[in-house]
Amino acid sequence: MAGETILVLNGPNLNLLGLREPEIYGTDTLADIEESCLERAAELEVKVDFRQTNHEGELVAWIQEARDTAAGIVINAASLSHTSIAILDALKFAGLPVIEVHLSNIFRRDPFRHVSYVSMAATGVICGLGAQGYLLALDALWRLIQAKSVSIAVVMGLFVVFFF
């Protein structure tokens, strides 16, 4: 498990955290969240590749790359969560465990925010817990990756027993 990479992806306008609607999104900046994620990753002995873009196609490309470079994805696709079938398709193709994060509780907001295409591909969803949601997502993803590694080791052990 040590050395695995978790890709943390952030969508449109998250570069404005700390300035944009702090009553909804809090006062933490994206740099603050990244720093917290890097600290937590060090505790978990995993690597974090933390990225942000305002462009849907760039997010899709990163997700596609993750299939070969990451053990899992934490994603806050922001407004693209509610509109992007392309991101949904890329997440499905990646075949990785995915934890979706929203800083605000999307179910206490505008009705159009209640539907997330990302959720259709996500292993789990964390919303409404602010910046803490990212750390919870890292913990959850780490456990999922660890459980998968143990399952693979057990299966391989069964094959060894079976053949010998």
27 neighbors 18 (Cβ within 8 angstroms): yes
Give the CA angle between residues 85, 90, 92 to the nearest 5°: 95
- How far, in Å, CA of 67 to CA of 123, rounded? 15
- Torsion angle in degrees (nearest 10) through CA of 92, 93, 98, 101: -70
The residues that are catalytic are: 25, 102
